[in-house]
Amino acid sequence: MLKFEIHTINQKARRGTLKTAHGNIQTPAFMPVGTVGTVKAMMPESVKETGAEIILGNTYHLMLRPTAERVASFGGLHKFMNWPGPILTDSGGFQVMSLSGLRKITEEGVTFQSHIDGSKHFLSPERSMEIQYLLDSDITMAFDECVKYPAEYKVVQKSMERSMRWAKRSKEAFIDRDGYGLFGIVQGGMFEDLRRQSIHDLTAIGFDGYAIGGLAVGEGQDMMFSVLDYTACALPDDKPRYLMGVGRPTDIVGAVYRGVDMFDCVMPSRSGRTGQAFTSHGVLNMRNACHIDDHAPLDAECTCPACRNYTRGYIHHLFRAGEILGSMLLTMHNIHFYENLMKQIREAISENRFEEFHDRFMSRFQNERKM
Amino acid sequence: MLKFEIHTINQKARRGTLKTAHGNIQTPAFMPVGTVGTVKAMMPESVKETGAEIILGNTYHLMLRPTAERVASFGGLHKFMNWPGPILTDSGGFQVMSLSGLRKITEEGVTFQSHIDGSKHFLSPERSMEIQYLLDSDITMAFDECVKYPAEYKVVQKSMERSMRWAKRSKEAFIDRDGYGLFGIVQGGMFEDLRRQSIHDLTAIGFDGYAIGGLAVGEGQDMMFSVLDYTACALPDDKPRYLMGVGRPTDIVGAVYRGVDMFDCVMPSRSGRTGQAFTSHGVLNMRNACHIDDHAPLDAECTCPACRNYTRGYIHHLFRAGEILGSMLLTMHNIHFYENLMKQIREAISENRFEEFHDRFMSRFQNERKM
Chain B touched by A36 (CB under 8 Å): yes
Distance between CA atoms of residues A286 and B134, nearest Å:
25
Catalytic residue among B229, B264, B293, B359: B264
- Looking at residue A94, its pLDDT comes to 92
Confidence class of residue B365 from pLDDT cuts 50, 70 and 90? confident
pTM, 2 dp? 0.97
Distance between CA atoms of residues B286 and B277, nearest Å:
7
A127-151 pLDDT per residue, tens = 999 999 999 999 999 999 988 899 9
Chain B touched by A318 (CB under 8 Å): yes
State mean pLDDT over B12-24. Answer: 98
Question: At residue B97, does pLDDT exceed 90?
Answer: no
What value does the CA radius of gyration of chain B take, rounded to a whole number of Å?
Answer: 20
**Strand ranges of the sheet holding A120-123, from the earlier edge strand across to the other edge:** A103-105, A110-113, A120-123
Assign A243 to helix, strand or coil. strand
DSSP-derived secondary structure for A254-307: HHHHTT--EEE-SHHHHHHHTTEEEEBTEEEETTSGGGTT--S-S-TT--SHHH
Asked if residue A46 lies in contact with residue A332, where contact means CB atoms within 8 angstroms, the answer is: yes
Domain boundaries, chain B: 3-265, 272-353
> Which residues sit opposite A121 in a β-bridge?
A112
Q: How many CB atoms lie within 10 A of CB B237?
A: 10
Q: Which phi and psi (to 5°) does residue B55 adopt?
A: -125, 165
| Rounded (5°) CA angle A294-A298-A299 | 120
Chain A residue whose CA is closest to B73: A293
- A314, A318, A319, A332: best to mutate for the B interface, most B CBs within 10 A: A314
Asked if residue B315 lies in contact with residue B306, where contact means CB atoms within 8 angstroms, the answer is: yes
A313-328 pLDDT per residue, tens = 999 999 999 999 999 9
Question: At residue A367, does pLDDT exceed 70?
Answer: no
DSSP-derived secondary structure for B262-273: EEE-SHHHHHHH
State mean pLDDT over A152-167. Answer: 98
Confidence class of residue A98 from pLDDT cuts 50, 70 and 90? confident
Interchain CB distance below 8 Å, A325 and B82: no
Chain A residue whose CA is closest to B308: A82
- Distant-in-sequence, close-in-space partners of A358: CB < 8 Å, separation ≥ 6: A13, A253, A254, A256, A257, A348
Amino acid at B10: N
Distance between CA atoms of residues B76 and A311, nearest Å:
13
Q: List CB contacts (< 8 A) between A40 and chain B.
A: 323-325
Interchain CB distance below 8 Å, B309 and A37: no
- Looking at residue B98, its pLDDT comes to 87
Q: List CB contacts (< 8 A) between B49 and chain A.
A: none
Assign B105 to helix, strand or coil. strand
Cα dihedral A71, A75, A80, A84, rounded to 10, equals: 130
Residue A65 is nearest to which of B61, B321, B325, comparing CB atoms? B321
State mean pLDDT over B94-115. Answer: 91
Catalytic residue among A136, A208, A261, A264: A264
Confidence class of residue B101 from pLDDT cuts 50, 70 and 90? confident
- Distant-in-sequence, close-in-space partners of A313: CB < 8 Å, separation ≥ 6: A291, A292, A293, A294, A295, B66, B70, B74, B80
Question: At residue A370, does pLDDT exceed 70?
Answer: no
The closest alpha carbon to B312, from B284, B334, B339, belongs to B284
| Rounded (5°) CA angle A255-A261-A267 | 65
- B33, B60, B82: best to mutate for the A interface, most A CBs within 10 A: B82
DSSP-derived secondary structure for B201-239: HHHHH--SEEEE-S-SSSS-HHHHHHHHHHHGGGS-TTS
State mean pLDDT over A211-230. Answer: 96
Question: At residue B367, does pLDDT exceed 90?
Answer: no
Q: List CB contacts (< 8 A) between A328 and chain B.
A: 41, 43, 324, 328
Interchain CB distance below 8 Å, B328 and A324: yes
Chain B touched by A325 (CB under 8 Å): yes
| Rounded (5°) CA angle B358-B10-B207 | 105
Q: Give me the interface pTM, i.e. the ipTM.
A: 0.97
State mean pLDDT over A229-247. Answer: 98
**Pairing between strand A3-10 and A13-20?**
antiparallel
Q: List CB contacts (< 8 A) between A57 and chain B.
A: none
- Looking at residue B371, its pLDDT comes to 65
Interchain CB distance below 8 Å, A324 and B41: yes
Question: At residue B146, does pLDDT exceed 60?
Answer: yes
Q: List CB contacts (< 8 A) between A292 and chain B.
A: 66, 70
> Which residues sit opposite B241 in a β-bridge?
B210
Q: How many CB atoms lie within 10 A of CB A356?
A: 12
C-alpha distances (whole Å) from A22 to each of A83, A100, B353 are 10, 31, 49
Residue B293 is nearest to which of A40, A73, A318, comparing CB atoms? A73
Distance between CA atoms of residues B184 and B206, nearest Å:
8
Q: What single-letter DSSP state applies at residue B346? A: H
Distance between CA atoms of residues A261 and A15, nearest Å:
8
Determine the length of chain B: 371
Minimum mean pLDDT range among A28-42, A219-233, B357-371:
B357-371
| Rounded (5°) CA angle A16-A19-A25 | 55
Q: Which element (helix H / strand E) includes B364?
A: helix B354-367
DSSP-derived secondary structure for A124-181: -HHHHHHHHHHHT-SEEEPP-----SS--HHHHHHHHHHHHHHHHHHHHH----TT-E
- A45, A83, A319, A325: best to mutate for the B interface, most B CBs within 10 A: A325
Chain B touched by A73 (CB under 8 Å): yes
Distance between CA atoms of residues B368 and B371, nearest Å:
8
Distance between CA atoms of residues A239 and B223, nearest Å:
73
Residue B325 is nearest to which of A38, A70, A318, comparing CB atoms? A38
Interchain CB distance below 8 Å, B74 and A328: no
Q: List CB contacts (< 8 A) between B80 and chain A.
A: 311, 313-314, 317
Distance between CA atoms of residues A86 and A32, nearest Å:
12
Question: At residue B370, does pLDDT exceed 80?
Answer: no
Asked if residue B254 lies in contact with residue B279, where contact means CB atoms within 8 angstroms, the answer is: no
Chain A residue whose CA is closest to B305: A43
Question: Is residue A359 annotated as a catalytic residue, yes or no?
Answer: no
Distance between CA atoms of residues A321 and A323, nearest Å:
6
A19-58 pLDDT per residue, tens = 999 999 999 999 999 999 999 999 999 999 999 999 999 9
Interchain CB distance below 8 Å, A324 and B324: yes
Asked if residue A233 lies in contact with residue A12, where contact means CB atoms within 8 angstroms, the answer is: yes
Chain B touched by A290 (CB under 8 Å): no
Gap from A162 CA to chain B (nearest CA, Å): 33
Confidence class of residue B293 from pLDDT cuts 50, 70 and 90? very high
- Looking at residue A249, its pLDDT comes to 97
Q: pLDDT averaged over chain B?
A: 96
Gap from B359 CA to chain A (nearest CA, Å): 38
- Distant-in-sequence, close-in-space partners of A232: CB < 8 Å, separation ≥ 6: A12, A212, A241, A243, A255, A258, A259, A260
Q: Which of residues 78-137 of A touch B (CB under 8 A)?
A: 80-82
Determine the length of chain A: 371
Residue A323 is nearest to which of B40, B80, B323, comparing CB atoms? B40
State mean pLDDT over B83-100. Answer: 93
Question: At residue B102, does pLDDT exceed 90?
Answer: no
Cα dihedral A215, A221, A226, A228, rounded to 10, equals: 50
Superfamily for the B3-265 domain = Queuine tRNA-ribosyltransferase-like (3.20.20.105)
Distance between CA atoms of residues A145 and B286, nearest Å:
37
Question: Is residue A264 annotated as a catalytic residue, yes or no?
Answer: yes
Cα dihedral B329, B335, B339, B344, rounded to 10, equals: 70
State mean pLDDT over B201-216. Answer: 97
